[in-house]
Structure formats: C-alpha cells, structure tokens
Amino acid sequence: MSTSLDPDDEVVVLAHERFPNRAKTAVGVLRYADYDVAAVLDRDHAGDTVADHLPGVSDAPIVADMTEALAVADPDALLVGIAPIGGGFDESWRGDVRAAIEAGCDVVAGLHYFLADDAEFAALADDHGVDLVDVRRPPDDLTVSEGRARDADADVVLTVGTDCSTGKMTTTLELVAAARERGIDAGFVPTGQTGIMIAGWGIPVDRVISDFAAGAVERMILDAAEDHDVLFVEGQGTIVHPAYSGVTCSLLHGAMPDSLVLTHSAGREAIHGYEDFPIPPVETYVDLYEDLSESVAPASVVAGALDTRAQDSEAAAEAAVDDYADAIGRPATDPVRFGVSEILDAL
Amino acid sequence: MSTSLDPDDEVVVLAHERFPNRAKTAVGVLRYADYDVAAVLDRDHAGDTVADHLPGVSDAPIVADMTEALAVADPDALLVGIAPIGGGFDESWRGDVRAAIEAGCDVVAGLHYFLADDAEFAALADDHGVDLVDVRRPPDDLTVSEGRARDADADVVLTVGTDCSTGKMTTTLELVAAARERGIDAGFVPTGQTGIMIAGWGIPVDRVISDFAAGAVERMILDAAEDHDVLFVEGQGTIVHPAYSGVTCSLLHGAMPDSLVLTHSAGREAIHGYEDFPIPPVETYVDLYEDLSESVAPASVVAGALDTRAQDSEAAAEAAVDDYADAIGRPATDPVRFGVSEILDAL
C-alpha cells in the first residue's frame, strides 16, 4: 500500500499529551521521514517547539490543535503519530481530524480503528476529495508466498531481535541512511505501522492473516528489489515470543534474507509484557535464527545492535556493547549512540 | 466457534465429482466424526455406496443431489466436504445448498467463499431459520496470547510435521481414539477446517491475523483443558515451510505442548508444491522443534508418525518405519497401517 505521502509533502503530526516519550510514531517520522513536519499537535506542550523536547531533528512549532496548525502552515496531510493501548480512536482528536479534512488534508493513521470506516470522516473526506489512509489495513489481494524472495535481485538484510522493542526499526533506518551515505543504493522495507508512515508504503505484517504473512513480505521484497541493490527489512517481534513469534517466523521465511542483524536491549531480562518468560542467553538466538533459516534460505547473523539507553555513561554503554559482541561472537554497536559503521562493515 | 453439529445429528456430505480421493474433508468426516453421515452427494458415483469406495467406515448411499438425499434421509445439516483450489463456491452446488436450506438443514462449509455472505443463501436461511456455518471464518473477538497455555490443567500433545499433508490430522485423531480406548480422558483440539467439521468446534488458525494466531490456539487449549486430561492438538504446516511456517510457529508457542509427535511422509523429498525446497534430513526437525520450543515452553519430540501410503507392501512399510525411527531416534509407527500404540506408550 502507499500512504499518499511524497518526499516534498508537508505534514502535521498529532501527538496530544504524549510527545515525545510516548509518541513513537511521531518521533520516528521526525527523525527519519523524507517529508517535512510543519507542526506537532500536543495540547500539553503548545507554545514549545520540537527542539525543546527532541534534539537532532528539524524544528517545528508545537500547537494546541489543527486550527492553530493551519494558521502557521499549509500541510498536505495530518498524521496520527500516537497509538493508545488497544489502538482505539480518542474522541478528543475528532475536531483535529475534521479540521484537517475540511482544509483539504489527507489523514494517515495506524490505529486498529479505521478512519475510513468512521461515517463522519468518510462522508467529509468524500466531500473534500481527500484520502483517509489506514496503514494498518492490509491490502485485500494478498496470497500465499511462492518462495521466490531468495531470487530477488538485491542483497537482503533483516533485523531480528531478542524481544519486541529492541530497536529493529531504528537499526534498520540507521543502516539505510548510513548505506546511502556510502553511496550504496539502499532501500527500506517497512513491515509495521510506524515504518510504513515513515516510508510512505509497506504492509503491516502483523495484521495479515497468518497464511498470507510470508506472502506479504515476499511481495514487498520482490517489488523493492526492482529499485535497489540492498534492502534493509524492518523485523518484528522475536522468534521466542509467546504471542508474536509467528510474525517473526513469517518475516524470516518470507524475506529469505542473506544477512541478519540481531538487536537486543541491554539489561533486559524478560520478554516485554511477559515477565514470566525470561530472555534466554543472547547467543541462543544466533543459533535459533540461523538454524531456522537454513532449510528455507540460509542466512547468517553478521552483527549485533544493542540498545544502551539504560546505560547512563558512554563507558558503561561501550562495555555493554563489548559484552554483547563477545556473547554473540559478532561485531556489535549501539546504532543510536555509536553509529552503524561496524554493522555495514560486516555486511 | 461451534459448527452446530451434535453427536446425534445426521448429515449429508457434498463431494461432487471428487469422492473419495479428492474429498479430504468428506473422508475425514466419514472416518472420524461422531455424527452420522446419511448420504454422500457425488453425481459421478450416484447409485454406489460409500463402502464401494472407502472401506472401514459406516456405509451410506451415494446420491446425485440433495433432493435424492432428502428422499432417503432426514438430515440435520449439509456439509460441503470438498474444497476446490482457491476455496471458491462451485455454482453447480447451488441447487443442493438451496434444497438443504429449504428442508430445514444447517449448511456447514470450510470454503474461502463464505456462504453467509451469499445474498440468496443468507435470505433463504433467514426465512427457514437455519444456520450457515463458515468454519473458515475466525471469531471476531480474538486477541494476543497471554502466554498461559503452559498453565493449562492437561497434558498437551501437538503433532508437528516435516511438511504439509504428512498426516498430522489423521495421527492426532487416531491418538485421541486410541487414548480413549485405553480409558484416558482425551480431547481433540482442531485447528483446520476439516478438523473443525469433524469435531464440531475449533478455530482455523491459518485464517487468523498473525498477531492473534498464538492467542487463538491458547484460547482453545485453555477451553479444552477444562474438559479433558490429555489434549491432542492438530498441527499445521511445517516450521521450514516457505509460506506457512508462521502458522506452525504460532501453534508451537500458542499451544505450549509438553510433547510433540513428528509426522513425515515416507519418500517425500521436497516441500509439497515448492519443489525447489528440499526436505532436510528428518533428524534436523527434532532439533528445530525442540530448540524453538525450549525458550518459551520446553517440549520433547517423543515419537514419530510415518505415512507409508507410497510403500506397496507391508514389509516395505515396516522397513520405512524402522528407518524413520532410527533417523529421529524415537519410536515410530504408521498410525493408519500399524496403529498408534508405540506413540501412546512413549507419551
């Protein structure tokens, strides 16, 4: 699917009461999207600017609602950049979405609640000729994998993890950016809602019916391989997750990668949200991912990416990275803290 | 979901032009369902009886259409016992479904085409107060797994395989029957359309969105564990399938079985329908399934089940079973040819 977002678009990002720490999509878009963020909606921080809260990205005003945003910008779209637990639509956002549509903006969201199924928004969008884009709704013409991704005319690198939320999307996007800086024709293959909003295309693999999940990944690989020499595929979950391992397995066998980058969050001891399930020793994952890929399309873990946010000092972060590299027997780094040169060199 | 079929029901099974060799569901129902089959519809074999084509099950007339079936029986339901490639509805069946509804029969089908979404059938079913049961439609209230299946108050046995169509459903049903003969309170947990039609309940895991697939399995385990001491769970696919491995992985981690039975089809060398993907040495699977379960809920491969249909003689079948047992280092049998005592003893 395509989100209708182009690199020269300007967007407003809705992040009420959650910017920046509980607004993963808003922050991802600010950090990695090609299009420009003209304003952020957060009624709790109206009057501040993005730079007051999130260094290292383009600055933009934070305003209280869409009407204020329209006073300072001429955006092409409103993005919903937060996702409450359960993925519902917060009725306090209705006025902002309404104002956006009436101003001729497309509205892009990754909620479980589909904007296009909302009677008011659907009618209003129709009246104003704008698109309501629900990135979590998979295409309806998906089918089973034909096992062809290994024939794709591109090197394929998949991020895998020891758990959810270990930095797979961030690592993947940092690798794409760094590879492009080296002159490599690198493409990003998004598989989750935030990645799709950033890239402007993609399929939310976790929402695809399980028979078609690998097929959805295969389709993205074959499409993207026509345009790039190297593909960096955003991974999901972990192969030992009590709930989501099937998604991870479909990604591994659907993408048929050549190389894997193993992401981990330093110090995490149990599966996030499943505290009775301890994370096994990290070296276990190297064998699991390599053995599971072997009989379908062999892939090697070539490097590790460690999230060291829990380490206060640079020295502690460096030590954690060294320990991690030793444990998995591969070069490693923290992509955010230390860059991804080690990983690119290993690829 | 429940199919509305009770053990004391009588059903008619539609299997036009495909009985028995291309009518897997019809044959499964005849062999394993508790309810009675009053007639089989197959216009190519009208006038024969089931016993002419399929020994070892209760006999029933084969008739040309539903009108003829209603002349010889007073059924509670019509079951669609065949699934054309693509899972579509064959318009040549429309008269049979119409006649069934008008006679007050529920209609149960496992097609991708949902009978309840067919305007004519929906209106007719409404008029006659009967149910249209599409077993391939998952419940709409599924959610993510909570990782609780390992706490179920029952021993859980999952069939896994080296490929699709290696006898997982048959092995599972033979184990249930044999365990019950030994006085064990055994339950069958169906995960595919045929199993669901046989058992009268279940969730088609391959049709569940991938985030909820393990959760669907968990729900079935927790429900069934309240009624039985031992659960035999119908497996799906194989962990090295290019398209379906995600379903297999969701089953393994959703069911959190204590024991695994590894099914294989003697002589098969490549993944069915994916001839460029060779089946790895069977012993590889023992490690893959055990290693993958280890970090979530440890399970052991305790026995093997070999489909020896390709072996003409008993001696050749016995030799194939012996070879298989040696290769996987576990006791093995062909459940259809030699029974499942070896497996039950190993459990």
Residues of B in contact with A241 (CB under 8 A): 253, 296
Do residues B189 and B220 make contact, with C-beta atoms less than 8 angstroms apart? yes
Kindly report the CATH number assigned to the domain that includes residue B177: 3.40.50.300
Kindly report the CATH number assigned to the domain that includes residue A58: 3.40.50.720
**Residue B92: inside a domain:** yes
**Residue A243: inside a domain:** yes
- A154 and A204 fall within a common domain: yes
- The minimal CB distance from B296 to the residues A240, A254, A256 is found for A240
- A270 has a chain B CB within 8 A of its CB: no
- B256 and B321 fall within a common domain: yes
- A69 and A110 fall within a common domain: yes
Q: For residue B269, give how far its alpha carbon lies from the nearest alpha carbon of chain A (Å).
A: 13
* Residue A140: both structure tokens together: 């309806």
What pLDDT, in 10s, does the model give residues A198-223? 999 999 999 999 999 999 999 999 99
Test the A interface: residue of B210, B212, B250 with most A CBs within 10 Å: B210
Question: ipTM score here?
Answer: 0.93
What pLDDT, in 10s, does the model give residues A261-275? 999 999 999 999 999
- A126 and A165 fall within a common domain: no
What pLDDT, in 10s, does the model give residues A132-148? 999 999 999 999 999 99
Residue finishing a domain among A134, A159, A190: A134
**Residue B154: inside a domain:** yes
- B174 and B259 fall within a common domain: yes
- B128 and B200 fall within a common domain: no
Prediction pTM value: 0.94
**CB contact (8 A) between residue A245 and residue B245:** no
- B115 and B169 fall within a common domain: no
- A237 and A156 fall within a common domain: yes
State the Rg of chain A over Cα.
20
> Residue ranges of the alpha helices (H) in chain A?
24-32, 66-72, 94-102, 119-128, 168-181, 193-199, 213-225, 245-255, 282-294, 314-328, 335-338, 341-346
**Residue B306: inside a domain:** yes
**Count of A-B CB contacts under 8 Å:** 144
- A266 and A168 fall within a common domain: yes
- A109 and A181 fall within a common domain: no
* Residue A21: both structure tokens together: 């720490």
Residue finishing a domain among A81, A106, A134: A134
In terms of residue numbers, what domain contains B240?
A: 149-346
Number of compact structural domains in chain B:
2
Distance CA A83, CA A15 (A): 9
- A174 and A298 fall within a common domain: yes
How is the beta sheet containing B10-14 ordered, strand by strand? Answer: B62-63, B36-41, B10-14, B77-80, B106-109, B132-134
Q: What is the residue-level pLDDT of chain B in tens, covering all 347 positions?
A: 677 788 889 999 999 999 999 998 999 999 999 999 999 999 999 999 999 999 999 999 999 999 999 999 999 999 999 987 777 899 999 999 999 999 999 999 999 899 999 999 999 999 999 999 999 999 999 999 999 999 999 999 999 999 999 999 999 999 999 999 999 999 999 999 999 999 999 999 999 999 999 999 999 999 999 999 999 999 999 999 999 999 999 999 999 999 999 999 999 999 999 999 999 999 999 999 999 999 999 999 999 999 999 999 999 999 999 999 999 999 999 999 999 999 999 99
- A198 and A302 fall within a common domain: yes
